[in-house]
Amino acid sequence: MKKALCIIYPNFSIYEVVGLTSTLALSFGIEIDYVGSDRNVIRSEDGLGFAKLANQTLKNYFPKGLRFR
């Protein structure tokens, strides 16, 4: 099964996330992993009280840290 990673953070824009992740999951069967800075509930900026619990933390998902070239 193919997987995609979605990094979420406090006050993230749910409108930027939901369209893409829904299309990937429903149309292509891709499993979405949500990663945050910690395992607490992360609220979006929309004010509707939407909250998402990250599947994993950044530290667990990237134990050696993120490196950009």
Between 52 and 11, the higher pLDDT residue: 11
Dmax over Cα atoms in the chain, in whole Å? Answer: 38
Cβ proximity of 4 and 23 under 8 Å: no
Residues with Cβ < 8 Å from 50, sequence gap 6 or more?
Answer: 14, 43, 44
- 8-state DSSP, 8: -
C-alpha 57 chain-centroid distance:
10
- On whether the pTM is more than 0.85, the answer is no
Degrees, nearest 5: CA angle 57-63-64:
135
Per-residue pLDDT band for 3 (boundaries 50, 70, 90) equals: confident
